[in-house]
Amino acid sequence: MSAVDPEAWRGTPVAPKGPASGRWDGAMTKAVEAASAVRHLTSPNPWVGCVLIAADGSAYAGATSPPGGLHAERHALASAGASARGATLVTTLEPCDHQGRTPPCTTAIIEAGVRRVVIGVLDPDPKVSGAGEARLRAAGIEVQVGVRAAEVERQLMAYLHQRRTGRPWVVAKLAASVDGRTAAPDGTSQWITSLPARTDAHRLRAWSDAVVVGAGTVRADDPSLTVRHWTPPGGRVWSDGTEPTSVVQPRRVVVGAVPAGARVHPCLQWDGPLNDLVDRLGAEGATQVLVEGGPAVAGAFVRAGLVDSFVVYLAPALFGGDDGAPMLSGPGAQSIEAILRGSIIAVEQLGPDVRIDVAVRESA
């Protein structure tokens, strides 16, 4: 049974009694879990999770379907049925109040007779941007905003950034030895990290709308850049009983010219400024772009000021010299005052390896 199966939560105390400021923290945590299970399917729509808590304490979960399907709030309402009247609806993102590919979620919430709506963060999309909250308040529904906001903000960082700036969140993925080398002097690099780390990297691909590499990486490794090792979480999270077992493959982008027989085809071959590439991908709906390789392309993105965060996989191995390939190539900072600084936001053990997440920019 999936951790986001609404049946698993029915009748469980996900909204513990306590001060009003923390009363809904448990339910919001469950909503975040539900959203995580569909992170790989919903873009360019936000990956939203929702938990509806009925007056008798029963809980019903929902998560956003792929584009064109129901939003998280409507799934939770459908699961709850008549139990939604007088209930509290806890959702990671502000409910929409406009007609898109689906009807407004606010309408469904109001018509269901929900008493209270608890929101993690407001939606900066100009079509929403406080309108959902205002519509609910105008209907006499109690609204609370900001529950576990930092946690939700981080989960939705790519979406929020894209809606605020028009640009996708750019993640540079690097895999290296502990002495900072990505390949041996003879060019060999497979495999520095272990299968658990590589599997996690494929999840990162699945969460991204586009994967960018350089033409040199294509010529050297002939990668396919598809999601393979990672298996999406299953289990029923939608009210129609469907299971999120498929993966939407990311768009493949190569900086430079690609040989005709390369496995990366079909792909976008790019030979213009990287700023323009990021703008184009954002305009086409990409919320997250993953820069995978190699050192030249990663270094170029860093020097252009386009990287928002790094995911670094470190293996317990050493090349033992300075002649291996570095994580980033090209000219770097010329003084200690000029180095790029960020914040380590997560560290995780993956088999023998370690994943380190570094944010160099706050979400805009």
Structural contact between residues 271 and 300, judged by C-beta atoms closer than 8 angstroms: no
Enumerate residues 6+ apart whose C-beta is below 8 A from 62: 6, 34, 49, 50, 51, 52, 70, 72, 73, 74, 75, 76, 77, 78, 79, 237, 238, 239
Kindly list the distances between the CA atom of residue 218 and the CA atoms of 136, 213, 225, 260, 261, in Å, as whole numbers in the listed order: 51, 8, 10, 11, 11
DSSP 84: G
- Take residue 161 and report the two structure tokens written for it: 């950034």
The catalytic residue among 33, 73, 94, 133 is 73
Distance from the first to the final alpha carbon of the chain: 37
Tell me the one-letter amino acid at 109: I
Structural contact between residues 25 and 70, judged by C-beta atoms closer than 8 angstroms: no
User: Residue 91 — φ and ψ, nearest 5°?
Assistant: -135, 145
**Does the annotation count 33 as an active-site position?**
no
Nearest to 173 by CA among 220, 219, 205: 205
The C-alpha atoms of residue 84 and residue 76 are separated, in whole angstroms, by: 9
Rg of the chain over all Cα atoms, to the nearest angstrom: 22
Structural contact between residues 20 and 251, judged by C-beta atoms closer than 8 angstroms: no
Residues belonging to the active site:
73
